[in-house]
Amino acid sequence: MSGNTLFLISLFSIWLLLLYHMFLALGGYLYSVWVEGQKQHPLPVKKQWPKVTILIPAHNEDIVIRNTLESMVELDYPKDRLQVIVINDNSSDRTGEICDSFADKYPFIQPMHSFPPEGGIGKSAALNRALKHATGEFIAVYDADNNPEKAAIKQLVVAFDDQPLIGAVVGKFRVINARKNLLTQFINIETISHQWMTQAGRWKWFRISSIPGTNFMIRKHVLVQVGGWDGEALAEDTELSIRVYEEGYSIRFYPLAITWEQEPETWKVWFKQRTRWARGNQYVIIKYLPRLLTMKRKKMIFDLLYYFFTYFLFLGGVLLSHTVFLLSALGVVEMTLPGPFILIWLLAYMLFIIEIMITLAIERTELTLKNFFIVILMYLTYSQLWIVLVIRSLWLHIRSVIRREEFKWDKTQRFQ
Amino acid sequence: MMSANRLSAFICLCLVWIVVLTFGFTNRMTAQADGIDPVGLHKLLIVYSEESVQEKAIMLANLSGHFRMTAEMVTLSDMTVSRTKEAEFVIFISSPSPDLRKIAENKLRTLKVPILWIGEPPGGQERNHKTLSAIRYLFKELTYTDRSSPIFRLPELGASIKPIVLAEASDGDQTVPLLVAAESRWFFLSQQLFGIPGKILEDGLHDFFGEAHEERHEGYIRIEDVHPYVEPERLIKIADLLYERNIPYMVAVIPVYVNPKSGEHIQMGQRPEFVRTLKYMADHGASIIMHGYTHQYRMSETGEGFEFWDSIQDTPVDNEEKYTLDKLDRGIAVLLNNGIIPVAFEPPHYTMSQDGYRLLSRYFSTLVAQLQVSDRTYLLTQQPPYRLDSKRHGLHVIPETIGYVLNQPGYPELMRPEIDQMMMVRDSVIGGFFHPYLPIEKLEELLDILYVYPLDYIDLNRENNRVFSDFAEITSSIDGVQVKVLDQVKLDRLGAPPPVVKKSLLSDLTYLVTWGIAFIVLGFLVLFVYILIRLNRKKRAAIFTEREARSR
């Protein structure tokens, strides 16, 4: 194959996604304008708030669980309509102890201690077990390091808007330790732009968004209908989203429900966590790609293709583009195609910067000169690491298939 | 795996190649051998005192090509009895060092052949004149004035010897010998090989070698740097003028024009009117000279740049052999493919390495140019006064001697002294060139000036010239020019106009898509900047709620 063809393939793979993201960024902005309008209205006064069960999976979380449970206590929601189940899953630290002390004081907090063989299998299994004890009409999930804002649960409930076809509502999460170091600043920027671009953007244009690991609410009957969480999935959230859509429900992104979450403060922890996510998403692609054409909801096909493009085509495009560049520099292949290639490379960089700056600007406190420089740096560093990460996770996947390994719940390490 | 069938086909192909290569090679060998036939030539030994005067030795070796000589060069220290044994003539280039001169004197004393001693004479080296700005030379009963340079005193020759003085120099006070024949010992008592003294020596070589050529002078006009973007009307006017006056002339054609800004190559085939004009000229007295292929190197402009010498680094061009052969192949092919038949070659700016000349001789028998003396620098070029056969390079050289019509007031009248000087030398060539972008009146004036001199104009097309290549062979003789095509396929391939970059579907698509992307993205960038500005304004105006909600 000539250098020209390779180059073209990589060019198209890359630009297909860049243009899609550009389109999403615009949608995200438009949705933020609507959300701003929503903020002006006070929360409705309801005579009877629906019963909500909050699930908090916790495995060795004694550093953060106290804060989380305090946030639960402070929630602005009638406590008689609230059930908080903390799943103390095979912890060897003081997690159980802390949970019990809260349960003594607050009857709506119910610890659930589990140990092997039934416990300690993974997040999905823990959630599935807790689900059996849930009494709420709505189920909300928070990770053990989350501090939801007072209004979060009410906002999530309100977002269902009495529309039965909205199966789940996803809130927004923000980084609590954003100012800690360069890594958490990168993550902060990344999470903001991810939520306003892929979550809000997709919701705006296609009425699609994905359930994250935390800060979302789902109708219990929907959860039961789809059969709970998939114990095999490392990214149980992405996978669950697809099944919810398959049952004919939609998932709404509603950024007025806010939680604050702790992010990795060291590169090692970050790398491990992201590898798990990447593997989780690859699992979803591999699981659903064969049934792509038989899927009931056509827009899910589109969404899955998006994941496929991101993890395979875009990656391939970037790698190919690097290779073609190298080979043509060495004179191995020859490129003779005409076109403003340097210009569009520069445009891609500018696009990256400005898209992110827009999503940061939505967040008011984040549009700073410092962040601008971090974004410029991010493209050259943090974003490039993504290539390494995806390749590594692909390799791990192939290795695990060969060795027939089982998936392990790899808990993210917390920080004081 | 290669099947048996394919293998035999491959072997056949190899054999064909071997035949073609051998054939091509022998072809070239005959080309090289032309004019170097040593039978009937006299052996000249040029001895130079030291390395620093090697260039002078080369220049004299070149000049000896005008005579029935084969020259060999040797330094004084390498000069042995065996090397001098066969010599029939010896020229010695002297040195300011008395020691070296002493050695030379001893080594040369025993030789019985004619010896021409150039520069500082044996014994002392007193100068014979006071330092003046100009000096007068007396030669063939005429007087010529030139810049001053040292003239050395003729050594004692012994009473029995009656020297014949062939030329003298005068500082206005006293007149001293410059070129002296003292039986078999000849002395040229100046170091100066350029200017008037140079001409005297060049003419005197006839006498030294004993070849009394007839007093006859040739002339030529060369129309220079004729590339595909030269205006045809000007060329036609020039052709008409010269044809009307019955003067055969030469046209130095550059087959490809390179635009230095775009790097675009315009081949003559892409300018049909230009080709038609050249044919018109050829029908009206013009002989065609190939003047390089593009007359430029790397990114310089056609007509400006050097082509066969790297003038920036003052070295031969990179990868010289392949580069040179490729350019020559293509140049000949392009010309032939357009029906223009070259009979000689002129390197751009007269610069070419010694190897370059040898490579050139595989293709052309005739060079119309001055000569780059060595590979040390391109700055030293020799302007021989007469035709010569450069035996070292295998080329017949028709020199350019009077320069060109400058685009300045006073020209071409100011060329007259050059012409007069050239007339000092027996059978000299009065050759100059004219750029077609100048007003044609200047050419007319030059012709008027030349009219008073007794010149036979050179008609290259009617002389014996040969141009060889793998794909075609050109010969010219008194009967005119003949072309024999040997390999039409190769000729077509090399000479075809550059393919108009065919816009393939792929490149069309890429071009469209990339520009499409660029415009869409640019549009969005503008929109996004606008959004960003709006958001920033709002940020200042609005109350911040999120953090407030969090403060518990």
Q: Which residues of B touch A16 (CB under 8 A)?
A: none
CA distance B375 to chain A (A): 32
What are the tokens at B541?
Answer: 């105006």
A-B contacts at Cβ under 8 angstroms: 97
Q: Which residues of A touch B510 (CB under 8 A)?
A: 4, 8, 11, 337-339
Q: Hey, are the CB atoms on B544 and A358 less than 8 Å from each other?
A: no
Q: In what helix (H) or strand (E) does residue B203 lie, and over which residues does it extend?
A: helix B195-209
Q: Which residues of B touch A365 (CB under 8 A)?
A: 544, 546-547
* Per-chain mean pLDDT for chain B: 84
Question: What is the structure's pLDDT at A327?
Answer: 75
Higher pLDDT, B81 or A157: A157
Q: Which residues of B touch A4 (CB under 8 A)?
A: 506-507, 510
Band (B16; pLDDT cuts 50, 70, 90)? very low
CA distance A351 to chain B (A): 7
Q: Hey, are the CB atoms on B546 and A19 less than 8 Å from each other?
A: no
Which residues partner with B432 through β-bridges? B221
Band (B274; pLDDT cuts 50, 70, 90)? very high
- pLDDT mean over B476-483: 92
Q: How large is the C-alpha radius of gyration of chain B? A: 32
CA distance B46 to B202: 15
Which of A213-227, A391-405, B94-108, B454-468 is predicted least confidently? Answer: A391-405
For an interface test with A, which of B520, B521, B551 has the most A Cβ atoms less than 10 Å from its Cβ?
B521
Phi-psi region of A203 (alpha: psi -120 to 50; beta: other; left: phi over 0): alpha
Question: What is the structure's pLDDT at B125?
Answer: 60
Q: Which residues of B touch A15 (CB under 8 A)?
A: 517
Q: Hey, are the CB atoms on B532 and A8 less than 8 Å from each other?
A: no
Q: Hey, are the CB atoms on A338 and B506 less than 8 Å from each other?
A: no
Domain regions of chain A by residue span: 41-263
pLDDT beyond 80 at A235: no
Domain regions of chain B by residue span: 1-33, 42-209, 217-495
Higher pLDDT, B17 or B110: B110
Enter the DSSP assignment of B428.
Answer: B
Q: Which residues of B touch A39 (CB under 8 A)?
A: 545
Q: Hey, are the CB atoms on B527 and A26 less than 8 Å from each other?
A: yes
Assign domain B217-495 one CATH number from 3.40.50.300, 3.20.80.10, 3.90.1150.10, 3.20.20.370. 3.20.20.370
B549 Cβ under 8 Å from any chain A Cβ = yes
| Burial status of residue B159 (CB atoms within 10 A of its CB: 0-12, 13-18, 19 or more) | exposed
Question: What is the structure's pLDDT at B225?
Answer: 92
Question: What is the structure's pLDDT at B362?
Answer: 93
Residues of A with CB under 8 A from a CB of B: 4-5, 8, 11-12, 15, 19, 22, 25-26, 29, 36, 39, 74, 149-151, 174, 258, 260, 336-341, 343-344, 347-348, 350-351, 354-355, 357-358, 361-365, 367
A246-276 pLDDT per residue, tens = 888 999 999 999 999 999 999 999 998 888 8
b/e A23-48 (16+ beta carbons within 10 angstroms → b) = ebbbbbbebbeebeeeeeeeeeeeee
- pLDDT mean over B490-502: 75
Band (B23; pLDDT cuts 50, 70, 90)? very low
Q: Hey, are the CB atoms on A260 and B550 less than 8 Å from each other?
A: yes
Which of A177-181, A226-230, A304-308 is predicted least confidently? Answer: A304-308
Of B510, B525, B549, the CB nearest to A149: B549
Q: Hey, are the CB atoms on B517 and A344 less than 8 Å from each other?
A: yes
What are the tokens at A123?
Answer: 């997040």
Q: Which residues of A touch B532 (CB under 8 A)?
A: 354, 357-358, 361, 367
CA distance A371 to chain B (A): 14
Of A8, A339, A355, the CB nearest to B515: A339
pLDDT beyond 60 at A176: yes
B530 Cβ under 8 Å from any chain A Cβ = no
CA distance B521 to chain A (A): 7
Three-class secondary structure assignment of B204-222 = HHHHHHCCCCCCCEEEEEE
Backbone φ and ψ of B284, nearest 5°: -120, 50
Of A8, A260, A347, the CB nearest to B522: A347
The share of chain A scoring above pLDDT 70, in percent, equals 93
* Per-chain mean pLDDT for chain A: 86
- pLDDT mean over A205-232: 89
CA distance B471 to B330: 11
For an interface test with B, which of A39, A40, A354, A369 has the most B Cβ atoms less than 10 Å from its Cβ?
A354
Name the closest residue on chain B to residue A173, using Cα atoms: B546
Q: In what helix (H) or strand (E) does residue A3 lie, and over which residues does it extend?
A: helix A3-39
Higher pLDDT, A121 or A64: A64
CA distance B118 to B106: 16
Q: How far is CA B122 from CA A48, B97, B169, B188, B337, in A?
A: 131, 10, 19, 12, 60
Question: What is the structure's pLDDT at A416?
Answer: 67
The share of chain B scoring above pLDDT 70, in percent, equals 86
Question: What is the structure's pLDDT at B90?
Answer: 93
The letter for the amino acid at A376 is I
B9 Cβ under 8 Å from any chain A Cβ = no
Closest CA to A375 of A174, A192, A172, A199: A192
Q: Which residues of B touch A364 (CB under 8 A)?
A: 539, 542, 544, 546
Question: What is the structure's pLDDT at A71?
Answer: 93
Closest CA to B71 of B91, B49, B44, B53: B44
Domain topology for A41-263: Spore Coat Polysaccharide Biosynthesis Protein SpsA; Chain A (3.90.550)
pLDDT beyond 70 at B88: yes
- Do the Cβ atoms of A66 and A98 come closer than 8 Å? yes
Q: Which residues of A touch B515 (CB under 8 A)?
A: 339-340
Q: Which residues of A touch B514 (CB under 8 A)?
A: 11, 339-341, 344
Band (B299; pLDDT cuts 50, 70, 90)? low
- pLDDT mean over A345-367: 87
Question: What is the structure's pLDDT at B37?
Answer: 47
User: Cα-Cα-Cα-Cα dihedral of B231, B232, B238, B244, to 10°?
Assistant: -160
pLDDT beyond 60 at B551: no
Which of A275-284, B284-293, B365-374 is predicted least confidently? Answer: A275-284
Band (A334; pLDDT cuts 50, 70, 90)? low
The pairing of beta strand A52-58 with beta strand A82-89? parallel
B535 Cβ under 8 Å from any chain A Cβ = yes
Q: Which residues of B touch A40 (CB under 8 A)?
A: none
A68-87 pLDDT per residue, tens = 999 999 999 999 999 999 99
- pLDDT mean over B536-545: 65
Q: Which residues of B touch A8 (CB under 8 A)?
A: 506, 509-510
In chain B, DSSP finds a helix count (H) and a strand count (E) of 14, 25
The share of chain A scoring above pLDDT 90, in percent, equals 41
What are the tokens at B459?
Answer: 């008609």
Q: How far is CA B357 from CA A214, B83, B166, B394, B434, in A?
A: 82, 27, 35, 8, 25
CA distance B366 to B343: 7
Question: What is the structure's pLDDT at B501?
Answer: 53
Q: Hey, are the CB atoms on B546 and A174 less than 8 Å from each other?
A: yes
Band (B137; pLDDT cuts 50, 70, 90)? confident
- pLDDT mean over A146-162: 91
Instruction: Quickly list DSSP for A310-362.
Output: IIIIIHHHHHHHHHHHHHHHHTSS-----S-HHHHHHHHHHHHHHHHHHHHHH
Q: Which of A391-395, B32-36, B96-100, B427-431 has the highest mean pLDDT?
A: B427-431
- Which residue in the block uniquely carries the two structure tokens 């500018």? A350
Which of A53-62, A350-359, A401-410, B398-407 is predicted least confidently? Answer: A401-410
Closest CA to B496 of B265, B264, B224: B265
- pLDDT mean over B395-407: 93
B511 Cβ under 8 Å from any chain A Cβ = yes
Q: What angle do CA B477, B481, B483 make, to 5 degrees?
A: 125
Q: Hey, are the CB atoms on A358 and B532 less than 8 Å from each other?
A: yes
b/e B177-209 (16+ beta carbons within 10 angstroms → b) = bbbbbbeebbbbbbbbbeebbbbbbbbbbbebb
Q: Hey, are the CB atoms on B510 and A5 less than 8 Å from each other?
A: no
Q: Hey, are the CB atoms on A344 and B514 less than 8 Å from each other?
A: yes
Band (B151; pLDDT cuts 50, 70, 90)? confident
- Do the Cβ atoms of B44 and B64 come closer than 8 Å? yes
For an interface test with A, which of B505, B510, B538 has the most A Cβ atoms less than 10 Å from its Cβ?
B510
B547 Cβ under 8 Å from any chain A Cβ = yes
Q: Which residues of A touch B499 (CB under 8 A)?
A: none
Band (B17; pLDDT cuts 50, 70, 90)? very low
Homologous superfamily in CATH for domain B42-209:
Class I glutamine amidotransferase (GATase) domain (3.40.50.880)
pLDDT beyond 90 at B239: yes
Of A22, A150, A361, the CB nearest to B532: A361
Whether pTM > 0.95 for this model: the answer is no
